[in-house]
């Protein structure tokens, strides 16, 4: 029998284990923590209320076999899932909400800064090719908008930097929308967006405008899904674990990999810290490649000495005694410097059974995490008018998760790409999660890549 080993029990690892089992492989999934699910798990407070570890609202991939594993048969999804036609977001900046877009509105700046910034944006007519975020922004939206709009977002997410030119131009800042702006009225924006160079710098004013553009490009907006269960994302993870174990995958929690036996450029055995040695014909690795490189027989691999700087996620969960003021948004971004919060999840708008619950997220370094105060964060939610002034906390839960988001320096991206290439070229029977290639960010893209890598190796399940 063919033996496959999956390292890492996040959603991608669960998907890989499930599909490898469909090929008739004997599959062992190894997860270092006591529970599978990674950052998509939920937590409970003392009263039993569930909260997600961040904002996670998946959507189908368009690959039938993948989607059936993730969400069940399409005809039955309405039983377990709330369908969301589009995710409603918004952003808080300069003391005001914009509930149509997460894109920062430059018109909220002082008149002097706005006019100076617009002049710089309009005279930058070439597409920037800079590899660092500072020069990229200065040569696209201009120096003023970089300093007053983008730099504060970088500081909120990754902390103040000694040199912003060390940060990569292509990183999660782009995903968060900080390198696109609202800068003119909707009609003028639409005209400027007809020019490719300006299209990349300006965001849509409304979701309706974005939908019109997608329709013109033949893009179908996906329907997002959120569990109807009070457990939130934990209900999803529990169902995936049940599917994986039901089909015969052996799941080992609470154990780490301590050795990789390699013969003829292939991993033949995987050793665990509990003393177990597992036979391996194929290895799916959904952990940083550096960890695998250090375990290979050639101990010189992966010893560059580079250590990435990693942020700490501080997640504040609250259940209160009043309805939320915002009854429509699913999640929100805070770009205002008045609060450390960067993202907020509004559970009642995702699932009516989770009334009165809200989560706020803050990124910090490890030492700063100690000084963050739950009452202060709750006061910030009140000052932003998301929670009524007379609301009281009935229960809460605080998470401190160290070593989460890496600071996206050019050096970090170089090492990620190099280690991915080094590992995949050193071992012939390995597939590494796309997240660790340095090329993918969104969960949907990683899930598709996971399925495709297995399909490319083993063909169709029916073959």
Nearest to 314 by CA among 404, 400, 373: 400
d(C-alpha 201, C-alpha 197), whole Å: 7
Q: Kindly state the tokens that stand for 306.
A: 């580079």
Contact 436, 293 (CB under 8 A): no
Percent of the chain whose pLDDT exceeds 90: 85
- The pLDDT tens digits for 396-408 are 999 999 998 899 9
- Reported confidence tier of residue 304, pLDDT bands at 50, 70, 90: low
- The pLDDT tens digits for 254-286 are 999 999 999 999 999 999 999 999 999 999 999
Contact 102, 204 (CB under 8 A): no
Domain boundaries, the chain: 3-44+229-307+408-458, 104-205, 312-401
Q: Kindly state the tokens that stand for 399.
A: 């998470």
User: What is the arithmetic mean of pLDDT over 389-394?
Assistant: 97
User: What is the arithmetic mean of pLDDT over 357-383?
Assistant: 96
* Range with top average pLDDT, 170-179, 271-280, 408-417: 271-280
Q: How far apart are the first and last CA of the chain?
A: 16
Contact 137, 179 (CB under 8 A): yes
d(C-alpha 286, C-alpha 136), whole Å: 31
CB-facing half-sphere around the CA of 157: CA atoms within 13 A: 22
Average pLDDT of the residues of the chain: 93
Nearest to 351 by CA among 330, 324, 332: 330
What element of type H or E holds 91?
strand 91-93
- Sequence length of the chain is 463
Contact 20, 454 (CB under 8 A): yes
Task: Classify each residue of 37-67 as buried b or exposed e, where b means 16 or more C-beta atoms within 10 Å of its C-beta.
Answer: bbbbbbbebeeebbbbbbbbbbbbbeeebbb
User: What is the arithmetic mean of pLDDT over 162-171?
Assistant: 91
Contact 386, 369 (CB under 8 A): no
Q: Which residues contact 348 (CB under 8 A, 6 or more apart)?
A: 323, 324, 327, 354, 355, 356, 357
User: What is the arithmetic mean of pLDDT over 152-177?
Assistant: 86
- The pLDDT tens digits for 24-34 are 999 999 999 99
Task: Classify each residue of 7-30 as buried b or exposed e, where b means 16 or more C-beta atoms within 10 Å of its C-beta.
Answer: bbbbbbbbbbbbbbbebebbbbbb
Contact 157, 342 (CB under 8 A): yes
Angle formed by the axes of helices 443-458 and 64-71, nearest 10°: 120
Nearest to 9 by CA among 248, 275, 250: 250
Q: Which residues contact 278 (CB under 8 A, 6 or more apart)?
A: 3, 5, 28, 30, 269, 270, 271, 272
Contact 193, 202 (CB under 8 A): yes
d(C-alpha 236, C-alpha 311), whole Å: 27
d(C-alpha 361, C-alpha 359), whole Å: 7
- Reported confidence tier of residue 461, pLDDT bands at 50, 70, 90: confident
Q: Is the per-residue pLDDT at 63 higher than 50?
A: yes
d(C-alpha 24, C-alpha 19), whole Å: 9
d(C-alpha 133, C-alpha 408), whole Å: 10
Residue 78, number of CB atoms within 10 A of its CB? 10
What element of type H or E holds 192?
helix 186-192
pLDDT at 143: 97
> What is 3-44+229-307+408-458's CATH number?
3.50.50.60
Question: What are residue 184's phi and psi, to 5 degrees?
Answer: -135, 180
Residue 266, number of CB atoms within 10 A of its CB? 15
- The pLDDT tens digits for 336-360 are 999 999 999 999 999 988 889 999 9
Nearest to 272 by CA among 37, 29, 39: 29
Longest dimension (CA), the chain: 71
């Amino acid at each position: 029998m063919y033996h496959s080993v999956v390292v890492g029990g996040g959603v991608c690892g669960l998907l890989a284990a499930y599909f490898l089992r469909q090929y008739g492989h004997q599959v062992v999934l190894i997860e270092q923590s006591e529970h599978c699910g990674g950052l998509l798990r939920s937590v409970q407070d003392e009263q039993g209320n569930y909260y997600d570890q961040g904002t996670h609202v998946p959507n189908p991939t368009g690959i039938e076999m993948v989607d059936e594993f993730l969400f069940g048969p399409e005809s039955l999804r309405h039983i377990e899932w709330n369908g969301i036609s589009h995710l409603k977001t918004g952003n808080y900046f300069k003391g005001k909400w914009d509930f149509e877009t997460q894109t920062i509105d430059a018109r909220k700046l002082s008149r002097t800064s706005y006019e100076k910034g617009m002049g710089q944006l309009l005279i930058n007519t070439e597409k920037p090719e800079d590899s660092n975020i500072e020069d990229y922004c200065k040569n696209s939206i201009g120096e003023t908008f970089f300093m007053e709009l983008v730099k504060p977002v970088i500081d909120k997410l990754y902390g103040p930097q000694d040199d912003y030119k060390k940060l990569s131009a292509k990183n999660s800042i782009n995903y968060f929308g900080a390198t696109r702006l609202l800068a003119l009225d909707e009609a003028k924006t639409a005209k400027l967006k007809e020019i490719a160079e300006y299209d990349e710098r300006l965001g849509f004013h409304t979701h309706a405008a974005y939908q019109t553009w997608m329709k013109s490009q033949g893009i179908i907006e996906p329907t997002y899904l959120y569990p109807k269960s009070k457990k939130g994302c934990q209900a999803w993870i529990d169902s995936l674990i049940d599917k994986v174990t039901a089909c015969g995958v052996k799941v080992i929690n609470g154990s780490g990999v301590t050795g990789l036996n390699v013969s003829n450029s292939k991993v033949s055995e995987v050793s665990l810290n509990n003393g177990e040695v597992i036979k391996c014909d194929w290895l799916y690795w959904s952990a940083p490649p550096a960890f695998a490189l250090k375990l290979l027989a050639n101990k010189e691999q992966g010893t560059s000495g580079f250590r990435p700087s990693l942020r700490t996620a501080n997640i504040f969960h609250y259940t209160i005694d009043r309805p939320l003021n915002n009854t429509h948004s699913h999640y929100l971004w805070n770009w205002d410097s008045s609060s450390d919060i960067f993202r907020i999840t509004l559970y009642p708008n995702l699932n009516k059974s989770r009334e009165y619950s809200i989560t706020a997220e803050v990124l910090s370094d490890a030492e700063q995490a100690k000084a963050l105060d739950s009452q202060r964060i709750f006061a910030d939610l009140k000052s932003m008018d998301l929670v009524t002034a007379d609301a009281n906390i009935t229960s809460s839960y605080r998470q401190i998760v160290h070593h989460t988001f890496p600071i996206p320096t050019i050096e970090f991206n170089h090492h990620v790409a190099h280690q991915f290439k080094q590992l995949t070229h050193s071992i012939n029977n390995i597939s590494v999660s796309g997240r660790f290639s340095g090329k993918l960010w969104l969960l949907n893209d990683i899930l598709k890549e996971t399925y495709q890598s297995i399909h490319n190796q083993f063909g169709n399940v029916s073959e």
